[in-house]
Amino acid sequence: MQFEGEHLLPGRIGHFFVLLAFVASIISTIAYFIAARKTDLVEKRSWLNFARIAFTTQLVSAVIIFIAIFYICANHYFEYMYAYKHASKELEPKYLLACIWEGQEGSFLLWAIWHSILGIFIIFRSKEWEAPVMTVISLAQFFLLMMLLGFYVGDVRLGSNPFTLTRNEITGPIFSQPNYLTFIKDGVGLNVLLRNYWMVIHPPVLFLGFAATIIPFAYAYAGIQTKRFGDWVTPALPWALFSACVLGVGIMMGGKWAYESLSFGGYWAWDPVENASLVPWMILIAGLHTMVIFKATGHSLKASYLFAFLSFIFILYSTFLTRTGVLGDTSVHAFTDAGKAINIMILLFVAAFTLPALGLLISNLKKIPTIQKEETTNSREFWMFIGSLVFFLAAIFIIAKTSVPVYNKILGTKIAQPEDVEFSYNKVIVLVAIIIGLLSAVTQYFKYKKTEPGSILKKLAVPTVIAAIITVLLAVFYPLTYYKMGAGFLGAVYVALFATIYAVIANGMYIWTGLNGKLKAAGGSVAHLGFALMIAGILISSSNKNIISSSSANGINLQISGKDPLTKQTDNPLENLTLIRDVPATMGPYEVTYLRDSFGNEKGRRFYELLFQRKEAGTKKVLEQFTLWPDVYIMKDNNMSSNPDTKTYLTKDVFTFISYAINNDVPEDTTQFSIKEMAEGDTAFYSNGIIILNSVVKNPVNEKYNFKPTDAALMADLTLISKDSLHYKAMPLIQVDGMGVNQVDDTVYAQNMYVKFAGVTDGRKVKIGIKESDKLIQYVTLKAYVFPYINLVWLGLIIMALGLIMSAVKRAKLSTFYAALALLLGAAGLFYMFLFAN
Amino acid sequence: MKKTHIIILVSIAALIVTLIVFSAGDFSTYESISSAQKKQGKYVHLIAKLDKTMPVEYDAVNNPNYLSFYAVDSLGGKTKVIFHNSKPTDLEKSERIVMKGSMKGDHFECKDILLKCPSKYKDDKKELEKTVTDQQNSTN
């Protein structure tokens, strides 16, 4: 059958380049593999050239594939499955990139493109290391591109091709008609949860981080393959620093995203997806410390190998965890069980890197040079190694816990995560934070090889005292209030707070006392300072996070769970509060009023205007006020997706999101107005109180109306006094003009009441219509938190990233110009993304 | 034996001990409704479906922190569920509900709910087919 209106050319081009890229990746893997083994220089050169051509072909093809997908999505060619699934016409253009990496295929492609670009840098810069390093990168390309093949072996489809046609993928009666495309009005589109600034920039950064971890891995492989067991560390170190920087930033971007646009109420939840990217980063950090030790002293080479291998292996393992659906019921993230074939392919990908790497390491373990004389406990390398080890073990702890669903799959057990998942991590990690904080404060003051203990104590005395003073001052004037988990945990949090403050002060001072202010060499200190500041920010903001919408603050007290061991107060998990329109409610220090709601530009998006006012206790004078506009997408079938809004202060954030909203369009209302005849000063009853007619005003000029003396308008000035003796004003109006009689009704939402000026009687009385209806109630249910000092978290992250860039440019021996450029761009980008965007 | 070796061994031992001591009583289990009913008060995970023949009770104006509904599992077990939180809006649409909490007498006191909804699974072909068919019907 000939189908009408299809655009098949971009798909054919795209698919051709998928095949070409795949073949080119095989060729470049083989050619680089052979080149690495040739000793004859002429032969080696010709294999290298061949491999480079293949690799470049593969890069160009990958870029063309990307452009083809972009073109298809941008033009809404819904005959393609990818466009149908991920794009839609109402989608704003800025989300076009996001809908490419929403899909499995698009994100593998993104990853492959980053590998290719990094590969080009390796080709230009790595000289004699090119062949073995590029062998590894090309092999990874082979696996990533295989995911895009959509190639049938028997009945099994290998990978999924992003250019498949909708009519071939899904069955429906419409596909039997040649003009089926005219029925497909729109695509399914980007998941509304993902329509967000962060969805545009977070995946590219995270995948660059993923892609960069392959380089230390590849260098470690090159070290063993060339039998130059120690030489790889020097060229690999700047890459390890680069990748630690990008991956770290990518992970925290995910945190910031979760914090400000998803309604989890925080930036970190120990969700399996978060853990899966955190663990490789932690191992990478451990690895770059052991690499620094090796460069300075010759110790820790075996550990460097292990960590370099494991960080990429855990990247692959995390891909396995998050893409195969094995996590199933344990994560809030929506996973797709993409089918058996792709699961097996990802497993193969993991195995193809894990087994040879660890096999090579074990079989060459004896040949890797080690220093027989061991480190003294007075040396910097000793404590650095301990720190790396603790970091590594913490990573293993996290991944071991995260992998519970995998054990269940293998062993058929039914273990589930504990009741309080976050606490089960926090109670261990807080101990790690203490050790790491103390070590990163103290270790730099040691010298490599051997240090005189006396000089260290002298230099450390000042930062120790300062940190202790700051901690005590904090404890007195700004105590942590995390009583929920008992005194022991709170104590541990305080110790961790001291350790991180100590690390901030000690590293800051070390730049002057240890390095004499030489900022070029201070990358390590700056990164440690930033990391410690970030952890301090996490400790403070999480401990003192305050749920101001909790019902216990509002007089409704429902007894549910147990008592707090410290405060002896009932722990109240009731965190939602319903606001009825125009009725102020107290939330923490604020009086909050839901004023109105309005529609956004996008279909189904609705904004709620919430007025926050902080008033002086006695006089009720408004000290400060601001408005927040949290919004929801209300989709078909009453599905809802919520976007928070945040008021940011320097020292705290007030954060709120809608937890429940229904369609607020006032439905057909059959209740009739009941008419009361009243003279000025008369009183009438309604179900919940009395109504007083204060006066009838002719041509009123007030906050609501503005009439000229020549108009013919009458307004009833009414006061409602409810049973709980609250007063409300209502001002219905009647007006006569050239068009006829015009009535302006008033509404008292708090009393579910419509008020109408129905007319005038003969005896100078006015007719007031009253309608009470519970259909009138407009309300919205929300949660609100105060996060104190959360900016420390983002500031700490930025400082850490800049420190890592400083170290990387120093280790890569970049010229001052490029170093300054890298720092400047990094700083501008980070400050913009984390503190100013939105 | 070198000092580093001792340290490595000690820390690995410490890690294992930490894991066991800290986490032994910590982990929960997946249960069916009937097996959970036998373990009153024990914190478990249930995988079930919303019983659409029974009413879902939620009134945000009176109490935004009270939701009750009935759940059935694949083995035919049935229980009332009480969740002291806001109602997840796609509850009615969900295909599967993972509930964490414990049995308290006649009902399941739920602490956390995770919904699996067909709309989130874009790769679900049936859902896409339904969407396509809907679009055609709305055109005709």
Given an 8 Å threshold on Cβ–Cβ distance, is A188 in contact with B60?
no
At CA A21, angle to CA A20 and CA A25, rounded to 5? 115
Q: Tens digit of pLDDT for each residue in A36-46?
A: 999 899 999 99
**Is residue B19 domain-resident?**
no
**The tokens of B34 are what?**
């009937």
**Is residue B111 domain-resident?**
yes
**Mean pLDDT for chain A overall:** 85
Whether residue A139 contacts residue A168, with contact meaning beta carbons closer than 8 Å, is answered with no
Q: B68 forms bridges with which residues in the sheet? A: B57, B82
Chain A CA closest to residue B127 = A170
Chain B CA closest to residue A87 = B122
Chain B CA closest to residue A190 = B122
pLDDT at A553: 45
CATH number at residue B79: 2.40.50.140
The phi, psi pair for B56, rounded to 5°, reads -100, 125
Tell me, yes or no, if B7 comes closer than 8 A to chain A by beta carbon. yes
Dihedral of alpha carbons B82, B87, B93, B97, sign: negative
Chain B CA closest to residue A334 = B120
Given an 8 Å threshold on Cβ–Cβ distance, is B65 in contact with A660?
no
Residue type, A810: K
pLDDT at A295: 94
- Under the banding of pLDDT at 50, 70 and 90, the label for residue A602 is low
Domain count, chain B: 1
Q: Which residues of B are less than 8 Å from A415 in CB distance?
A: 27-30
Whether residue A247 contacts residue A209, with contact meaning beta carbons closer than 8 Å, is answered with yes
Closest by CA position to A276, among listed A251, A259, A298: A251
Given an 8 Å threshold on Cβ–Cβ distance, is B65 in contact with A580?
no
Gap between the Cα atoms of A742 and A732, Å rounded: 11
CB pairs under 8 A between A and B: 163
* Residue A778 distance to chain B (closest CA, Å): 9
- Under the banding of pLDDT at 50, 70 and 90, the label for residue A636 is low
- Which of A104, A575, A639 lies nearest to residue B90, judging by beta carbons? A639
Three-class DSSP category at B89: coil
pLDDT at A118: 96
**Is residue B133 domain-resident?**
no
- The residues, ordered by sequence, that sit 6+ positions from A749 with a Cβ below 8 Å of its Cβ are A580, A581, A582, A583, A776, A777, A778
Given an 8 Å threshold on Cβ–Cβ distance, is A578 in contact with B128?
no
Look up tokens 């015009």; give the residue: A742
- Under the banding of pLDDT at 50, 70 and 90, the label for residue A663 is low
Q: Which residues of A are less than 8 Å from B31 in CB distance?
A: 414
pLDDT at A36: 94
Chosen for mutation from A324, A660, A776 (greatest number of chain B CBs closer than 10 Å) is: A660
Chosen for mutation from B7, B26, B58 (greatest number of chain A CBs closer than 10 Å) is: B26
Given an 8 Å threshold on Cβ–Cβ distance, is A777 in contact with B61?
yes
Q: In chain B, pLDDT over 90 holds for what percent of residues?
A: 4
Q: Give the H or E element holding residue B33.
A: helix B33-38
Tell me, yes or no, if B60 comes closer than 8 A to chain A by beta carbon. yes
- Under the banding of pLDDT at 50, 70 and 90, the label for residue B19 is low
Q: Which residues of B are less than 8 Å from A337 in CB distance?
A: 123
**Is residue B100 domain-resident?**
yes
Given an 8 Å threshold on Cβ–Cβ distance, is A416 in contact with B28?
yes
Closest by CA position to B103, among listed B48, B54, B26: B48
Chain centroid offset of residue A256 CA = 5
More confident residue, A369 or A635: A369
**Is residue B9 domain-resident?**
no
- Which of A166, A183, A660 lies nearest to residue B64, judging by beta carbons? A660
Cβ atoms within 10 Å, residue A121:
11
More confident residue, A685 or A574: A685
Cβ atoms within 10 Å, residue A56:
16
Chain A CA closest to residue B126 = A170
Given an 8 Å threshold on Cβ–Cβ distance, is B3 in contact with A374?
yes
Given an 8 Å threshold on Cβ–Cβ distance, is B119 in contact with A639?
yes
**Is residue B69 domain-resident?**
yes
**Is residue B1 domain-resident?**
no
* Selection from A79-88, A138-147, B54-63 with the highest mean pLDDT: A138-147
Interface of B with A in 65-124 (CB under 8 A): 65-66, 84-87, 89-90, 92-93, 98, 100, 111, 114, 116-117, 119-123
Chain B CA closest to residue A331 = B114
State yes or no: pLDDT of A405 exceeds 90.
no
- Which of B27, B61, B121 lies nearest to residue A779, judging by beta carbons? B61
pLDDT at A210: 95
Rounded to 10 degrees, the C-alpha dihedral A448/A450/A454/A458 comes to 0
- The residues, ordered by sequence, that sit 6+ positions from A723 with a Cβ below 8 Å of its Cβ are A688, A689
**Mean pLDDT for chain B overall:** 78
Chain A CA closest to residue B140 = A183
Choice among A130-134, A207-211, A359-363, B85-89 with the minimum mean pLDDT? B85-89
Closest by CA position to A264, among listed A575, A556, A562, A543: A575
**Is residue B59 domain-resident?**
yes
Given an 8 Å threshold on Cβ–Cβ distance, is B132 in contact with A338?
no
Q: Tens digit of pLDDT for each residue in A720-766?
A: 888 777 788 888 888 887 767 777 778 776 777 788 888 888 777 88
Given an 8 Å threshold on Cβ–Cβ distance, is A401 in contact with B133?
no
Query: For B85-107, what is the mean pLDDT?
Result: 83
Query: For A675-679, what is the mean pLDDT?
Result: 85
- Under the banding of pLDDT at 50, 70 and 90, the label for residue A777 is low
Q: In chain A, pLDDT over 70 holds for what percent of residues?
A: 91
Given an 8 Å threshold on Cβ–Cβ distance, is A332 in contact with B114?
yes
pLDDT at B120: 46
Question: Does pTM top 0.90 for this prediction?
Answer: no
DSSP A10-54: HHHHHHHHHHHHHHHHHHHHHHHHHHHH--SHHHHHHHHHHHHHH
State yes or no: pLDDT of B124 exceeds 70.
no
More confident residue, A174 or A638: A174
Whether residue A14 contacts residue A162, with contact meaning beta carbons closer than 8 Å, is answered with yes
State yes or no: pLDDT of B122 exceeds 50.
no
- Under the banding of pLDDT at 50, 70 and 90, the label for residue A93 is confident
Which parts of A419-486 fold into alpha helices (H)? 421-442, 453-477
More confident residue, A113 or A642: A113
Chosen for mutation from B1, B2, B4, B7 (greatest number of chain A CBs closer than 10 Å) is: B4
Q: Which residues of B are less than 8 Å from A783 in CB distance?
A: 86
Predicted complex ipTM: 0.79
Q: Which domain holds residue B99?
A: 28-127
